[in-house]
Structures are given as structure tokens and as C-alpha cells.
């Protein structure tokens, strides 16, 4: 095999093989387990750097394995897959650092990190899937590999949260399977194609394609937490903080949103989907979910649940950008894959720090925490301001392009949704920041632990500081000629055939 044929497979194996080996390690082999995790993550980032440069120079990277005639598992690199695989791998690295510190003295660490690596490997497979069959296979592996992480603590609440998660996602997977199988039966191989593999098919029933689209979006909408398929997400917050970060920023929720982007752009084609009148219902559903998630977040006193409903709202920006016709809105939706991931993982890291260091789980317990944990609270502030969309944070860039795209598409009513969402975001984040920075501590922390000269374990402190600063610099340096925004422009204009 040449490098072009093997590189996608090597990127997948760089986390899959360490994950398998970790299962066989004893609980006390801490250094070897950490070496395998961070070594695999480092190798993956190097390989992705090589692939990114090659895709930029229009090299073709594809690994293809035939299961049966007409049924191929394909790992393929295009501009969109490179974006998602870079995001997943980069955040995997910092989440691994965080998890090592978080689980330093915890039980079943080999099991945790083994499934942790399998979860990331399946996300990488989703990112590089070259057709719907490959996407479906890795999508279901992601479901199964994430479940042990959610129930890791083994408490009754954890088991119940895992049961609800598995019920939602397995039903969603079955609906997605039905849509993929039906489409494969009438349209043949389903390789992803820029501007849409179905866009030139005039021999297929428009009514049938409409029903299949509903099945595909319904199956993907479970993981993307579209209303009313979002019920599993707040219940899954019983998981350890590294898992919550993984669910919201790297793996499950992002996999659903990424799948919606693939179906609209690379299966149907955005203009063909619009001709079938499929995009306006998707945009309406996304807008409703944005407002609904924000309103639900307002009523949550538990910090992680407020962040969970914030995710329900924020991820729908990606679906909204996909459903608004035009490359400008597409830029806003696609780049929010990156921006939301960075901001939300920062917030969940910080929530984990508060819980592990001071025993804080509820917002009313956060009075004066900024003085006790200034670096953690500064990182939380960056993530929260980004979610609100305050410039120059990265979240502002996403909302700017979504608004400009809505105007270009003559859908100015979406501006009202974005404005209202911003107000609601401010309403549920700013009181947290006020309590943390400006109110005085009125009672002892629920369970305070000390870590010498640091406010918390340094492996818990470093990741949110890194991701929070990146979220800031992606906004400050958005106009950089070699930045993420330019890469997303390339994706959006290619998907529109421009």
C-alpha cells in the first residue's frame, strides 16, 4: 500500500491499537497506560498534519476494504473530514491529559481508557467515512463504546443514565439504518460527493427521497440532540467530567451534527434538498431547538445540566447553518463545529474542576469561587462569553456568518432567533459569572481539597486554560490567511460548487 492508501487507516489505528492494548494492562501500570494514550494521540496529530497538507495540495487519501460486492468500508480524506478529524484528535489529546489527572486514584482506569480510545477511534472513523455504509458502521460502534464510559461509576443513577442513553441511541441507529438501507437499494453505492451524489439523479421518486431524508435526519438527530430527541443528553451528565466533555465536544453530539452536514451536502446536495423542500423544516426545527434548549438551561441549578441544555441549543446552530441556503451560512454552521467544541469542552473541564476540588455541583454554591480558583474561573468566563457570542470570542464569528447568511438567503427572521438566543445565553451564563467573581462566599465549600501551590491538580488546570485561550485566539485571529475560517470557506464553496 502507498502512503495515500494507508494514511487514513494509520490515523484510525493510532488510537485503536493503544486502546486495545490498554484493556490488558493492570490498574497499577499507570505510566504505561498514560504513555500509550498520549503517544497514540501525538502520533495521530502528526499523521493528521501530513494529511492536512496533502489535502490542501489536492492529494487523494483513501483506504478501501471490500466486505461484499458493492459494499465497501471507505476511509477518505476531504476538506470536511480533515476539519472534523483535527478537532476530534486535538481535543482527544487535551481530554486525555485531563482524564489522567481526574482519574488519578480512581478504580477501573484501564477499562475507562480502553473504551475512551475506542470512542475516539469510532469518531475518527465517522470523520473519515467515505460513504454512508462506513459512516453507519462507525456511528454504531460509537454508541456501544460510549455506554461503558457513561456508566463508569456504576451507581444506580449512572446505570439509569446509561440505559436512557442506550435506548435513545439504539433506536436512532435503527432509524438511520432503515434510511441508509432504503437509499442504498434504490440509488446504489452511497459514496459522499461534493454537491451531492443524488443531485443529478432524475430517475428517483421525489416522495421516496423525502421519506428517506426524514429517516436519516431522525436517526442523526438523536445524537445531535434535536428536539424532541434530546432527552438522553441531560441524563448522561451523571458520567465523569472527562466523559461529559467527550460527549459534548468531541464525540457523540458532534457525530450527529457532522452526519447532518454530510447528508445535506454530500448525499442530497444542498440545492437538490432545497428543491425537495427539505431544508425549511430542518431550519425551523433547528431554530426551535436553539430557543427551547436555552429556555430549559435557565431553569437548571445543577451546573452540568445547565451546560447540557446549552449544548442542546448550541449544536443546533450547526444544523441551522446547513439548512440555510448559501455558502455564507454554511461557513457559520461548519465553523461552529470547531468553535462550539472548544468552548463547551472548556466549560465542562471547569465544571469538573469545581466538583473535584471544592465539591461544587450547583450554581448557588459558586459564590466567590473566582477568588479561590481564578484560573479555572477565567477559563470558564472565556467559554461562557464565547457561547453568548460576545466579540472577539470565536462564538461571535459563528453567529456573524449565520446572520449574514440568513440575510443573503432572504430569511431575515432567523436574525430574531439568533438575537433571542444570545439574550437567553447571557441570561443563563452571566449570573454564574457574577456569582463567581463578585459575590462573597457565604458558606464553606461542600468538599474542599488542596493541591499545594496550585488551585487544583495541574493536569485538571492546564486543559481548560489551553482550550479557553484557543477559543479566544480563533476569534482574534479569524482573518488569518491560514486559519480555520479560511479552511471552512474552502469547504463551503466546494459544497456549493463554487
Rounded distance, CA 24 to CA 233, Å? 31
Residue, of 144 and 1, whose pLDDT is higher: 144
Which burial class, exposed, middle or buried, applies to 440 when counting CB atoms under 10 A from its CB (0-12, 13-18, 19+)? exposed
| Structure confidence at residue 497 as a pLDDT band (50, 70, 90) | low
Q: How confident is the model at residue 490 (pLDDT cuts 50, 70, 90)?
A: confident
pLDDT at 240 over 90: no
Q: How far is 293 from 290, CA to CA, in rounded Å?
A: 6
DSSP state letter for 454: B
Check whether 104 has a pLDDT greater than 80.
Answer: no
Higher pLDDT: 371 or 4? It is 371
Q: Kindly state the cell numbers that stand for 207.
A: 416522495
Sign of the torsion angle spanned by Cα atoms 391, 392, 398, 404:
positive
3 state DSSP class of 420: helix
Please tell me the pTM assigned to this model. 0.92
Q: Which of 106, 168, 115 is nearest to 141 (CA)?
A: 115
CB atoms under 10 Å from CB of 303, counted, come to 25
Residues 6+ apart with CB under 8 A from 217: 226, 260, 263, 282
Residue 107: pLDDT over 80: no
| Residues 248, 245: Cα–Cα separation, whole Å | 5
312, 275 in Cβ contact below 8 A?
Answer: no
Pick the range with the lowest mean pLDDT from 3-7, 60-64, 184-188, 210-214: 3-7
| The predicted structure's pLDDT at residue 455 | 85
More confident of the two residues 157 and 429:
429
pLDDT(91) > 80: yes
Q: Which cell is 10 given? A: 494509520
Angle at 104 between CA 101 and CA 106, to 5 degrees: 130
More confident site: 183 or 482: 183
Q: Decide: residue 5, CB within 10 A, 0-12 exposed, 13-18 middle, 19+ buried.
A: middle
Helix (H) or strand (E) holding 104: none
Count, residues in the chain: 498
Q: What is the pLDDT of residue 33?
A: 84
pLDDT at residue 1 in the model:
63
Q: What is the pLDDT of residue 452?
A: 75
**Could you write out the DSSP letters of every residue in 3-58?**
HHHHHHHHHHHHHHHHHHHHTTS-TT-HHHHHHHHHHHHHHHHHHHHHHHHHHHTT
Split at pLDDT 50, 70, 90, the class of 234 is confident
Cα–Cα distance between 222 and 209 in angstroms, integer? 20
Task: Identify the band that residue 378 occupies on the pLDDT scale cut at 50, 70 and 90.
Answer: very high
By the 8 A CB rule, do 360 and 450 touch? no
Given pLDDT bands bounded at 50, 70 and 90, which one contains residue 496?
confident
Residues 125-132, mean pLDDT to the nearest whole number: 91
| pLDDT given at position 366 | 92
Over residues 270-293, mean pLDDT: 92
* In 114-259, beta strands by DSSP E: none
Cβ-contact 138, 129 below 8 angstroms:
yes
Highest mean pLDDT pick, 201-210, 326-335, 424-433: 424-433
Q: What are the grid coordinates assigned to 475, written together?
A: 476569534
**pLDDT, position 498:** 63
Does the pLDDT value for residue 463 go beyond 70?
yes
Which residue did the predictor score with more confidence, 245 or 121? Answer: 121
* Over residues 454-472, mean pLDDT: 90
Q: Which of 280, 151, 154, 288 is nearest to 228 (CA)?
A: 288
Distances (CA, A) of 133 to 74, 174, 480, 497: 8, 13, 37, 25
**pLDDT tens column, 31-83:** 888 888 888 889 999 999 999 888 888 888 888 888 877 788 889 988 889 99
| CA–CA distance, 304 with 362 (Å, rounded to integer) | 8
Is the model's pLDDT at 213 over the cut of 90?
yes
Whole-angstrom Cα distance, residue 243 to residue 95? Answer: 9
Q: Dihedral sign, CA of 333, 335, 337, 342? A: negative
Would you list the domain boundaries of the chain?
290-498
**Contact status, residue 138 vs residue 128, Cβ threshold 8 Å:** no
**For range 96-116, the mean pLDDT:** 82
Interacting residues of 207 by C-beta distance below 8 A, sequence separation 6+: none
pLDDT over 90, % of the chain: 42
Give exposure, 88-116, as e/b (b: 16+ Cβ within 10 Å): bbbbbbbbbbbbbbbbeeeeebbbbbbbb
Amino acid at each position: 500500500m502507498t502512503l495515500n492508501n494507508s494514511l487514513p487507516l494509520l490515523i484510525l489505528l493510532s488510537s485503536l491499537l493503544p486502546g486495545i492494548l490498554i484493556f490488558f494492562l493492570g490498574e497499577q501500570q499507570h505510566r504505561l497506560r498514560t504513555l500509550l494514550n498520549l503517544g497514540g494521540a501525538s502520533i495521530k496529530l502528526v499523521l493528521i498534519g501530513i494529511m492536512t497538507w496533502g489535502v490542501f495540495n489536492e492529494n487523494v487519501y483513501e483506504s478501501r476494504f471490500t466486505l461484499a460486492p458493492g459494499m465497501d468500508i471507505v476511509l477518505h480524506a476531504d476538506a470536511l473530514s480533515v476539519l472534523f478529524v483535527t478537532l476530534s484528535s486535538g481535543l482527544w489529546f487535551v481530554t486525555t491529559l485531563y482524564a489522567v489527572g481526574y482519574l488519578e486514584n480512581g478504580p477501573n482506569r484501564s477499562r475507562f481508557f480502553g473504551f475512551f480510545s475506542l470512542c475516539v477511534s469510532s469518531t475518527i472513523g465517522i470523520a473519515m467515512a467515505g460513504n454512508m455504509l462506513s459512516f453507519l458502521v462507525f456511528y454504531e460502534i460509537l454508541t456501544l463504546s460510549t455506554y461503558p464510559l457513561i456508566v463508569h461509576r456504576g451507581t444506580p443513577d449512572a446505570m439509569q443514565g446509561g440505559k436512557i442513553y442506550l435506548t435513545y441511541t439504539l433506536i436512532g441507529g435503527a432509524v438511520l439504518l432503515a434510511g441508509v438501507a432504503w437509499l442504498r437499494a434504490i440509488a446504489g453505492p452511497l459514496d459522499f460527493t461534493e454537491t451531492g451524489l443524488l443531485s443529478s439523479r432524475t430517475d428517483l421518486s421525489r416522495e421516496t427521497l423525502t421519506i428517506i431524508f426524514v429517516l436519516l435526519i431522525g436517526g442523526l438527530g438523536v445524537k445531535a440532540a434535536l428536539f424532541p430527541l434530546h432527552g438522553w443528553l441531560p441524563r448522561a451528565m451523571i458520567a465523569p467530567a472527562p466523559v461529559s466533555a467527550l460527549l459534548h465536544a468531541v464525540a457523540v453530539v458532534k457525530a450527529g451534527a457532522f452526519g447532518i452536514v454530510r447528508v445535506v451536502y454530500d448525499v442530497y446536495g444542498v440545492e437538490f434538498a432545497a428543491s425537495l423542500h427539505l431544508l425549511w423544516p430542518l431550519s425551523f426545527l433547528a431554530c426551535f431547538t436553539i430557543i427551547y434548549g436555552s429556555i430549559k438551561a435557565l431553569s437548571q441549578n445543577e451546573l452540568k445540566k445547565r451546560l447540557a441544555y446549552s449544548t442542546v441549543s448550541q449544536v443546533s446552530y450547526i444544523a441551522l447553518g446547513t439548512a440555510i441556503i448559501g455558502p455564507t451560512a454554511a461557513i457559520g454552521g461548519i465553523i461552529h463545529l470547531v468553535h462550539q467544541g472548544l468552548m463547551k469542552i472548556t466549560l465542562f473541564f471547569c465544571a469538573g474542576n469545581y466538583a473535584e476540588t471544592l465539591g461544587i455541583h450547583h450554581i448557588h454554591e459558586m459564590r466567590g469561587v473566582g477568588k479561590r480558583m481564578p484560573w479555572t474561573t477565567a477559563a470558564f468566563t472565556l467559554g461562557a462569553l464565547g457561547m453568548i457570542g460576545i466579540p472577539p470570542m470565536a462564538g461571535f464569528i459563528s453567529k456573524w456568518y449565520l446572520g449574514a447568511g440568513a440575510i443573503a438567503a432572504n430569511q431575515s427572521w432567523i436574525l430574531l432567533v439568533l438575537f433571542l438566543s444570545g439574550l437567553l445565553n447571557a441570561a443563563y451564563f452571566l449570573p454564574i459569572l457574577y456569582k463567581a467573581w463578585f459575590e462573597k462566599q457565604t458558606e464553606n465549600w461542600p468538599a474542599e481539597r488542596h493541591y499545594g501551590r496550585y488551585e487544583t491538580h495541574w493536569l485538571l488546570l492546564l486543559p481548560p486554560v489551553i482550550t479557553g485561550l484557543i477559543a479566544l485566539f480563533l476569534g482574534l485571529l479569524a482573518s488569518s490567511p491560514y486559519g480555520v475560517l479560511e479552511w471552512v470557506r474552502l469547504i463551503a464553496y466546494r459544497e456549493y460548487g463554487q
